[in-house]
Amino acid sequence: MLDSHVTSSNQGATILCVDDEPSILSALRRLFRARGFKVLVAESGQAGLTLLESENVDLVISDMRMPEMDGVVFLENVRQRWPHILRLLLTGYADITSIMGAINRGEIYRYIAKPWDDNDILLIVNGALERIALEKEKKRLEALIHRQNDELKALNASLEIKVEARTIELRLANASLHSANDRLKNNFITSIKVFTSLIELRNGNLAGHSRRVAELSKRMAQKLGLEAKQVQEIYVAGLLHGIGKVGFDDELLSTPVVMMNTRQLESYRQHPIRAAQLLMPFAELKGPIELISAQLERYDGAGYPNRLSDNNIPLGARILTVASDFDELQFGMLAQRHMDDQRAHAVIFQGSGRRYDPNVVDVLVVLHGGVMRDEVKKEQAVEKTVKTLDLQPGMVLSRDLMTPNGMLMLTAGHVLDDAVIRKIYDFERSCDLELTAEVWKDRTG
C-alpha cells in the first residue's frame, strides 16, 4: 500500500495513546511523532483520564485489555467527559463482544486489529482527524449562514444593491458548505472500502469480493431504475455485507458453504445478524443494515433469519443476494470448485424463482449477456488503461486502483499529481509488480 502522509490540516494534532504495555506505547509514539503529531502516552485508563484533564487532545487510541480499567470503561469515560475527542480502539479480531461494548458505550469511531499495519493505522488516524476538521468547518459554515440569514432579514427591502451583494455572499457560503458535506461523504465511503479491505486480508479468496459485489449491485440497481439514494444504500450494503464474518475462525472463513458441517452452517447463518448489531450505532447506515440483515433470505421463503418470501424481502437485499452469490461461485466461496462466469451465471439462472428474484436474475442476464455489448463499448470508449510509467499529473481515475491481492490504493475520482504517481511507481518497484490504472479519456485529452 502507499505510504500514508499527514495533511497540513492534521500536522500538530495531539494524540493520546493508552496501553499497559510500554513496548506498544513506544511503537505508537515513534510512528506518530515521525509524522508530525504530538503524542501523549499513558499506561492505564486512570492515567489517561488524568492527562485529559490538563491537556488538549484531538484523538485517543486505547487498548482493549488493560487491568483495573479496560478500554470500554476508559472510552466511555472519555465520551461522557470529552465528547468532542474522537476515540479509536486497539483489539484482536475475535474480541467481538468487547468491540460491541466499545461501540455501544464508548461510541468509538473505528477499531484497529492487532497486530496493525503502520500504513493502515496512519490512514485511519488521518481520516479521523480530517473528519474532525470537516465537522468543525461544517459547524462554522452553518453558523455563518445562520448569521447571514439574520442580517439579510434585517436589511431594508429598498436597498437592492446591498441585498444582491449579500445574496451572492450567501450562495458562496452555501456552495462551500455543500463541498464540505461532499468531502465528508466521500471520506466515509473511502473509510468503508479500507475497512473491508482489511477484513479480506484474512483469506485470499475474499480479496476484492466486497468491492466487486458492491459494483455489481450498483449496476443492477441502476438497471432496475431505482432512485439515486436507493442505489447508494445498495452500494454501501455491498461493501459491508461481509462485516459479520469478522469473528469467524480461519477454518470457517475458508470453508465453502456447501462443505460446511451443521455447526459451521449455523454459525455462518448468523453473520447478517452480527453485522446488523455491529453497525447499529451508525444512524446513517439504517438503510444498508436492513439490506444486509436480509441477504440470506430466499425468494421461496426458505431462507434466514425470518423466512421472508418474494416482495416481503427488500429489493436491495434481493439484488445483494444475486450479486454476492454470483461472485462467490466464481471464487470458491459457495461451491467446492471455482466456476467461470458463464457457469456461475447458469447456476444463478437455475435458482431463479427459488433462491432468487426472477426479475433480478433477468437483470443479471442483461448485464452479462449480449444485449448490453454496445453500451459496454460506449462506456469503455471514454476510459483507457494506462501503465504506471505513462501516468501524468491531472489524470483522473475512473475506477478504484487495487493491488493484485485486492488492497485498495486509491479510489475512483482521485486526481493524480506528481507525488502520488511517484508513490505508485515506488510501490510497484518495491513489490516487483506491473500495475495498470483505468483513467478517464475526456479528463486527460
Domain ranges of the chain: 14-117, 125-187, 204-371, 381-444
Determine contact, residues 89/75, Cβ cutoff 8 Å: yes
Domain 14-117 in CATH: superfamily?
Answer: Response regulator (3.40.50.2300)
Beta carbons within 8 Å of 251's beta carbon, 6+ residues apart: 264
Instruction: Using pLDDT thresholds of 50, 70 and 90, give the confidence band for residue 168.
Output: confident
399 vs 83, which has greater pLDDT?
83
Question: Which ranges in 282-417 belong to alpha helices (H)?
Answer: 286-293, 315-330, 341-350, 358-368, 373-381
> What's this model's pTM, rounded to 2 decimal places?
0.46
Q: Name the range with the highest mean pLDDT among 41-50, 118-127, 160-169, 429-438.
A: 41-50
Task: For residue 67, say if its preceding peptide bond is cis, omega within 30 degrees of 0.
Answer: no
Q: Considering only CA atoms, which of 238, 353, 366 is closest in space to residue 298? A: 353
The predicted-structure confidence for 239-276, as pLDDT tens digits, reads as follows: 888 888 887 888 888 888 878 888 988 999 999 999 88
- What is the number of residues in the chain? 445
Q: How confident is the model at residue 411 (pLDDT cuts 50, 70, 90)?
A: low
User: What would you report as the CA-atom Rg of the chain, rounded to the nearest whole angstrom?
Assistant: 24
| pLDDT single digits (tens) 357-409 | 999 999 998 887 633 333 434 444 467 888 888 888 888 777 778 777 666 67
The confidence score (pLDDT) of residue 102 equals 60
Lowest-pLDDT range of 54-68, 308-322, 361-375, 414-428: 361-375
Asked whether the beta carbons of 105 and 97 are under 8 A apart, the reply is no
Q: Tell me the average pLDDT across 159-181.
A: 64
Query: Is residue 121 predicted with pLDDT exceeding 50?
Result: yes
Spell out a b/e string for 246-268, using b for 16 or more CB atoms within 10 Å of the CB, else e.
bbbeeebbbbbeeebeeebeebb
Average pLDDT, integer, range 405-415: 66
pLDDT in tens, 180-214: 455 545 556 666 666 666 666 655 566 778 888 99
In the CATH hierarchy, which fold is given to the domain comprising 381-444? Molybdopterin biosynthesis moea protein, domain 2 (3.90.105)
Q: What is the pLDDT of residue 7?
A: 52
Residue 107 main-chain phi, psi, to 5 deg: 45, 55
Domain covering 204-371, topology: Hypothetical protein af1432 (1.10.3210)
What integer pLDDT is reported at residue 409 of this predicted model? 74
82 pLDDT band (50/70/90 cuts)? Answer: very high
Dihedral through CA 258, CA 259, CA 265, CA 271, nearest 10? -70
